[in-house]
Amino acid sequence: MHRDGDLYNTKCFVCGRQNPSGMRLRFEMDGDAYVTEFVIDDAYQGFPGIMHGGIISTVLDEVMGRYLWVSGYDAVTADMRVRFRKPIVCGSRVRFEGRLDRIAGSRAMTSARAVSEDGTVFAEARACFVIKGGDRMNRPEAEQAVKTRLPNVNLFKHCLAVEAVMRGLARHFGENEEDWSMAGLLHDIDYEETKNDPDRHSLLSGEIVKGMGFTDEIVEAVIAHNERHGLPRATRMAKALYACDPLTGLIVAAALIHPEKRLSAIDTAFVLNRYKEKSFAKGANRKTIEACSDLGLSLEEFVTIGLDSMKGISKELGL
């Protein structure tokens, strides 16, 4: 199943490239919204010179539905309410924006709007989508969802690094590698949307991950990794995710300070020496990293597992 928005449906009336009677619109992720922007063609009019309300509703529905699609959800519109504020004159350029407001069980609550270049709101919509049942999202689909939501390359690489370390820790403890690695890959999937609202960070991730069909253990680990919520990390998975999140940043910083700037050029001793320097990689919270003791691991053992795991994906990390 593709999660590339361009492969959504080639025959779709709104976006299908192979539909000769369709609109053939192009979409992209822009911050927390999925958007399309185009000049209104005369072919889309209802009253003379005015865009047809049904077509406005269709595009509003599309930007909300496509947001869910590229985020990894198979969902269908259950209810949609549109409020038309101002007529859209044919020939004008209009931007349609769709957003995910929240996930509530099997339902996704979304919103959308049509706006002019100067910010005038022409129409607004709110909708409830029902998320289809079925198996949980697979690895390629989850990766695509993270890429879509985290356009910042370094943030995406961070998620890959945490995924690798979580897999390495699962292997060490004889735990489920697929579950642990998924927790690592998806733990910061909401970062772009919550970077200015740290109290919401990981709570939204938990909703997203739950909607993707993952287990409560994974959801709880993802939510609990943000210590601002003060939630207990009751499972080994949650304890591991909490500790390895900043560890990856420390290891990346250690590799970059080395003349070769490669993971293959550093070892555990090199990382531990940098760890002792208080001014080095201040963002890598030492207290959080030292929570590896809750897993029964010494700092040296923890760093070794983390470094070896990240070396295994050095090409993907560009290190």
pTM: 0.64
Q: What is the three-state SS of 127-139?
A: EEEEECCCCCCCH
- Which pLDDT tens digit goes with each residue over 139-180? 888 888 888 888 899 999 999 999 999 999 999 999 989 899
AA letter at 107: R
Question: From start to end of 2-120, where are the E strands?
Answer: 28-30, 33-39, 75-84, 93-104, 107-116
Task: Give the closest residue to 212 by CA, choosing from 187, 237, 176.
Answer: 187
CA distances from 168 to 244, 248, 275 (A): 11, 13, 21
Cα pseudo-dihedral 186, 69, 204, 223, rounded to 10:
-30
Q: Return the minimum-mean-pLDDT range out of 44-48, 104-108, 208-212, 247-251.
A: 104-108
Contact 14, 38 (CB under 8 A): no
Tell me the C-alpha distance between 113 and 166, whole Å. Answer: 40
Half-sphere exposure of 89 (CA within 13 A, CB side): 4
List, in order, residues 6 or more apart from 81 with CB less than 8 Å away: 125, 126, 127
- Which pLDDT tens digit goes with each residue over 238-273? 999 999 989 999 999 999 999 999 999 999 999 999
Instruction: Report CA torsion sign: 166, 168, 172, 175.
Output: positive
Residue 8 per-residue DSSP state: S
What phi and psi values does residue 78 have, to the nearest 5 degrees? -105, -40
Token couple for 100: 């995910």
What phi and psi values does residue 121 have, to the nearest 5 degrees? -90, 120
Task: Give the closest residue to 242 by CA, choosing from 265, 225, 259.
Answer: 225
Tell me the C-alpha distance between 180 and 122, whole Å. Answer: 45
List, in order, residues 6 or more apart from 134 with CB less than 8 Å away: 74, 213
- Which pLDDT tens digit goes with each residue over 177-209? 989 999 999 999 989 888 888 888 988 888 888
CA 185 to chain centre: 9
Task: Using the predicted structure, report yes or no on whether residue 41 has a pLDDT greater than 70.
Answer: yes
Token couple for 242: 């909490």
Structural domains present in the chain? 5-131 (3.10.129.10), 139-317 (1.10.3210)
CA distances from 174 to 8, 112, 155, 293 (A): 38, 45, 28, 18
Token couple for 186: 């998806």
**Predicted pLDDT at 2:** 36
AA letter at 133: G
Instruction: Report CA torsion sign: 247, 252, 256, 258.
Output: positive
Q: Return the minimum-mean-pLDDT range out of 149-158, 217-226, 274-283, 299-308.
A: 274-283
